[in-house]
Structure 1
Amino acid sequence: MRRFSRNAIMRVLPILIFLGLSAGFLTACGESAGQSEPASHPATAKPVRVAPVTRTDTLRQYALTGVTRAANRATLAFQVSGNLSKRPVNIGDRVEPGQLIAELSNPEAGPQADAARARLSELNTRLAQAERDLTRVENLFEQEAATRQELESARASRDALQASRDNARAQLSRSTRTLDETRIKSPVEGTVDRVLFEPGEFVPAGQPVVSLSGGGLTEVEIGVPENLIDSVEVGQPATLRLPLFEGRTVSGRVSEFASASTGAGQLFPVVITLDAGQSLRAGLTVEWLLDATQPQRLTVPVTAVVSPGGSGQPRVYRVVDGRATAVPVKLGAIMDENVIVEGELEAGQSIIVAGLNNITDGRPVEVLP
């Protein structure tokens, strides 16, 4: 066996001690790493303050848009089709009741009406003469100066002319009606605000040609979504704002309210008539500031809502058996210091409103008074 000198042993001893200490340190680290577990919640409870979940009616103001129009208005159309031959009015023109607005081309209607009118005039003249002749013959017959045959002949002539006159009157009525159907006259005093056809164009029957706005009151038709219809009734006051006129407001009342929408998923038409003395020019954009009460909704203090990472699912923390329990929520409108929420919450449950820093799901908490 090889023997080492004392000096050699003394030279390697520090190296052996260093290696032994290093091996022990590494073994201890390995054991520590192998025995490590996820950190548990701190044993001490975190002090927090709580507030109850509340259920309340919510009042919100909605801005619904519409366009002003004259309350007294008319949309004019022909009852028959034809080519537009004349439209002597333009947008902005003032018109009087009975004034010609537009006319269709019908070369035969005018002459037919004139002929029927002349025929009726002629028959009226002849009938008047036949009445006088009959009266004269009746007098002569009473004086025995005329025969019964002459009397009957005069009566027959008078009756025939009466029948012809009645037929001519009916013909004139038909011709006049035909002529009237080719003409549109203003039913009101007002202003032309739209023209939809130009002379020479074909106009289908019933198609609007000209629209008029009469004087007097102004109204607005506004579409109301179905979730707000319970907040509308005829006669209720309405405040209208003009967004393009520095927020100027005018007042009115709901005058008409449709009980049904114009179709599935459509809006419900509501007509608001402005108060007297607050009339506006037709065609202005206005906003109806509608205060609507929503059904009872759950609300929590704004300070109770946290959003992990600033962009995660918003949540609140309930206190259940002394621990914080996370409840994801969907946020609604903010009302003062509260916010509407939807989630697995009930009115009266306690939620944490202070002490939320470093709070985690399941962490023990101590509710402060």
Structure 2
Amino acid sequence: MPTLRMMVVAGAAALLLAACERDAASDIAPAPRPVRTTTIEKRESPTPFVFTGHIEAEDEMSVAFRISGRLLANNIRLGDRVEAGQLLAQLESQNELNALRQAQAALAAAQGQLTQARNHFERQQTLLAQGWTTRANFEAATQAQQTTQSQVDAAEAQLSAAHDQVNFTELRADAPGKIIETGPAAGEVIQAGQTIARIARQDGRDAIFEVPAQLIRAAPANLQVTVSLTDDPAVSAHGRIRQVAAQANPVTRTFEVRVGLTDPPAAMRLGATVVGRAEASAGPMIDIPATALTRMNRQPAVWILDPSTKTVSVRNVDVLRFDQAQVIISQGLDAGEIVVTAGVQALHPGQKVRILGSEP
């Protein structure tokens, strides 16, 4: 019996000792969790712009006849190169030639009348000086000479206009270039101002892009653009924005941007599809490693380290853009703050941490 009592006492003592050991163990704080951190710095972060467009001539012109008529000849072929003054097309000119001959005849008749009026004026002037005619006759001769002189001037103007009408039956190139569009063929009746061809002048090339309004506002005025062929990126040229459309496209709501190219290679032909690339600074940005990003309340967040207490707290941030390696933060962080970049999955608010590489 004494042996049983001793066994019960020994068991109770063992249970009491174990409980004391558990209480002592619970009083020991958990070891700080090791993490990696980075200190926030603001730096210039360029914003990339990439757009697809095509090549056009810097200066294009539409050529047309100034008068209506039947197209007699059309020497225009798509892709042909033309020189300044080269004959492109002709209209039937029979009516204009008849008008020219009529104007020549009218001028000859007016000149004959002017000669007669001058002779009569000179006679009246001589007779008036000798007293053999009246002042009224002299004044009538003077008026007749002035009238016939005006008729000659009018006839000369009509003759010049008739010459112009004959010249207008021939369409010539104003500058060297390349035919990029053709119009009606020989035999068709055309109207004045109707486009016969479009010529791309050889004095420059533009890359044309359709750009959203918000990017136009963000881009600087003197932005440099690198333009390359989509099928051969090795063929490239540099340029700067030369012109921005004043009105948006009513369908796409984008603005046409013309980039003037500097010394474009010959392989960058008219109509070729190109890609334009540029970078513009969007001001000081905060970037952190992608591993630092977590979520709180269904929003992007990061863990902030308090260097005085070595504890962490979670904070929501606004993400501007991100990729697999880097996240650009627009709001929520300030320069000098310390952000946890590794070990974020096992943290909780107020937890003590230890920076890897520092003393325990």
The TM-score normalised by the length of structure 1 is 0.65
Tell me by how many angstroms 1:104 deviates.
7.0
**Residues 1:288 and 2:276 aligned together:** yes
Following the alignment from structure 2 to structure 1, what is the Cα–Cα distance between the partners of residues 149 and 289? Answer: 92
**Residues 1:163 and 2:150 aligned together:** yes
In structure 1, the partner of 2:343 is 355
Letter in 2 for 1:341: I
Tell me by how many angstroms 1:172 deviates.
4.4
| Percent of aligned pairs with the same amino acid | 21
In structure 2, relative to structure 1, the CA distance for the partners of 1:233 and 1:79 (3 Å cut) is farther
SS at match of 1:163: helix
Aligned partner of 1:297 among 264, 280, 285: 285
In structure 2, the partner of 1:251 is 238
Following the alignment from structure 1 to structure 2, what is the Cα–Cα distance between the partners of residues 134 and 318? Answer: 113
Tell me by how many angstroms 1:212 deviates.
0.8
**Residues 1:214 and 2:201 aligned together:** yes
**Residues 1:117 and 2:125 aligned together:** no
1:147-158 matches, cutoff 5 A? 155-158=142-145
In structure 2, the partner of 1:189 is 176
In structure 2, relative to structure 1, the CA distance for the partners of 1:211 and 1:139 (3 Å cut) is same
Letter in 2 for 1:285: T
In structure 2, relative to structure 1, the CA distance for the partners of 1:81 and 1:345 (3 Å cut) is farther
Tell me by how many angstroms 1:353 deviates.
0.9
In structure 2, relative to structure 1, the CA distance for the partners of 1:81 and 1:57 (3 Å cut) is farther
In structure 2, relative to structure 1, the CA distance for the partners of 1:253 and 1:314 (3 Å cut) is closer
1:211-250 matches, cutoff 5 A? 211-225=198-212, 226-229=214-217, 231-234=219-222, 238-250=225-237
Aligned partner of 1:366 among 349, 353, 358: 353
Tell me by how many angstroms 1:134 deviates.
4.7
Letter in 1 for 2:237: V
In structure 2, the partner of 1:266 is 254
SS at match of 2:77: coil
Structure 2 residues not aligned, in runs of 5+ = 1-28
SS at match of 1:122: helix
Q: Is the 8 A contact 1:324 1:365 kept in 2?
A: no
In structure 1, the partner of 2:13 is none
In structure 2, relative to structure 1, the CA distance for the partners of 1:193 and 1:111 (3 Å cut) is same
Following the alignment from structure 1 to structure 2, what is the Cα–Cα distance between the partners of residues 347 and 207? Answer: 65
Q: Is the 8 A contact 2:236 2:264 kept in 1?
A: no
Following the alignment from structure 1 to structure 2, what is the Cα–Cα distance between the partners of residues 204 and 362? Answer: 82
Structure 1 residues not aligned, in runs of 5+ = 1-41
Tell me by how many angstroms 1:319 deviates.
3.8
Q: Is the 8 A contact 1:221 1:269 kept in 2?
A: yes
Tell me by how many angstroms 1:195 deviates.
1.7
In structure 2, relative to structure 1, the CA distance for the partners of 1:282 and 1:355 (3 Å cut) is same
SS at match of 2:147: helix
Letter in 2 for 1:113: A
In structure 2, relative to structure 1, the CA distance for the partners of 1:113 and 1:61 (3 Å cut) is farther
Alpha-carbon deviations, 1:70-127, whole Å to 9, x = none?
Answer: 345322346677876654312123334344545678986x266325532443235415
Following the alignment from structure 2 to structure 1, what is the Cα–Cα distance between the partners of residues 132 and 265? Answer: 78
In structure 2, the partner of 1:325 is 314
In structure 2, relative to structure 1, the CA distance for the partners of 1:258 and 1:284 (3 Å cut) is same
Alpha-carbon deviations, 1:214-233, whole Å to 9, x = none?
Answer: 23433334445443555443
In structure 1, the partner of 2:45 is 58
In structure 2, relative to structure 1, the CA distance for the partners of 1:253 and 1:329 (3 Å cut) is closer
Following the alignment from structure 1 to structure 2, what is the Cα–Cα distance between the partners of residues 64 and 207? Answer: 35
Following the alignment from structure 1 to structure 2, what is the Cα–Cα distance between the partners of residues 168 and 329? Answer: 82
Matched residue count:
320
Following the alignment from structure 1 to structure 2, what is the Cα–Cα distance between the partners of residues 47 and 199? Answer: 86
Q: Is the 8 A contact 2:117 2:145 kept in 1?
A: yes
SS at match of 2:221: coil
In structure 2, the partner of 1:69 is 56
1:82-101 matches, cutoff 5 A? 87-101=74-88
Following the alignment from structure 1 to structure 2, what is the Cα–Cα distance between the partners of residues 113 and 230? Answer: 61
SS at match of 1:130: helix
SS at match of 1:123: helix
In structure 2, relative to structure 1, the CA distance for the partners of 1:204 and 1:359 (3 Å cut) is farther
Following the alignment from structure 1 to structure 2, what is the Cα–Cα distance between the partners of residues 77 and 229? Answer: 39
Following the alignment from structure 2 to structure 1, what is the Cα–Cα distance between the partners of residues 346 and 143? Answer: 115
Letter in 2 for 1:364: Q
Following the alignment from structure 1 to structure 2, what is the Cα–Cα distance between the partners of residues 176 and 365? Answer: 98
Following the alignment from structure 1 to structure 2, what is the Cα–Cα distance between the partners of residues 349 and 134? Answer: 109
Letter in 2 for 1:266: T
Q: Is the 8 A contact 1:50 1:367 kept in 2?
A: no
Following the alignment from structure 2 to structure 1, what is the Cα–Cα distance between the partners of residues 226 and 177? Answer: 27
Alpha-carbon deviations, 1:239-258, whole Å to 9, x = none?
Answer: 3322323422223455x344
In structure 2, relative to structure 1, the CA distance for the partners of 1:297 and 1:253 (3 Å cut) is closer
SS at match of 2:346: coil
In structure 2, the partner of 1:126 is 112
